[in-house]
Structure 1
Amino acid sequence: MRKPRDFDAELKALNDRARTLKERKIRQLGELVVATGADALDIDTLAGGLLGIVLDAASQRKETMRNSGAAFFQGGGQKDAGAGSDTNPPANTKADGLAEPFALKPSQD
């Protein structure tokens, strides 16, 4: 005869795993804020910027921001405003009428 499954133990293990993943996500978001220098902003400005990104429907701007973020994580940081092609401008251009965001700089650990 087979041993019956302990559903309570399995459920507890899944809940523990979910809690661990959520804590890791929160910790990584905090580390990202510090690594980008956004911890120097007041909380209202940071929240407003994040809400602006979430609510922004322009896919071209989101793609530009995604490319800047990918370059940041690859250690390239953000390009100078005059360098590179104008078809994919850096995220700190004011062409969209948006306030200039903070410059992303990789941490020098």
Structure 2
Amino acid sequence: MRKVRDFDAELKALNERARLLQQRKVQQFGELVEATGADALDADVLAGALLAAVAEQDIATIAAWGRKGAQFFRDTRRKSSRRARGGGEGDTTAAPGAEPA
């Protein structure tokens, strides 16, 4: 005998998952805006820049933006891994016998 599926419960669970994913997407976008320093811009300036980016048709410009973005994320990862190892920018301890820079 086949087990009866509770479609209502499955649909409710899927809707909850979609809601959580949307919340995470919005949170990550906010974190990205802060990490890039774009939070210093007025909201209308930021909106205008995003609209211009969406409307951009030049493939070379879009590719250049993509390279810049990829470089930003590579640099961000390097900085965070240095901090995790204790060798970040805030680390002022020098090795014994080392001369200050």
Structure 2 counterpart of 1:15? 15
Structure 1 counterpart of 2:96? none
Structure 2 counterpart of 1:62? 62
AA aligned opposite 1:47: A
Structure 1 counterpart of 2:75? 75
Please identify the structure whose Cα radius of gyration is greater: 2
Number of residues paired by the alignment? 78
Residue 75 of structure 1 aligns to a residue whose secondary structure is helix
Identity within the alignment, %: 56
Structure 1 Cα separation of the partners of residues 36 and 23 of structure 2: 20
* Unpaired runs of at least 5, structure 2: 77-88, 91-101
TM-score, structure 2 length as denominator? Answer: 0.73
Query: Do structure 1's residue 27 and structure 2's residue 22 form an aligned pair?
Result: no
Structure 2 counterpart of 1:46? 46
Structure 1 Cα separation of the partners of residues 64 and 2 of structure 2: 57
More helix by share: 2
Runs of 4+ in 1 over 2 A off after TM superposition: none
Question: What is the root-mean-square deviation of aligned Cα atoms in Å?
Answer: 1.6
AA aligned opposite 1:44: D
**Shift of residue 2, structure 1, vs aligned partner:** 2.2
AA aligned opposite 2:68: S
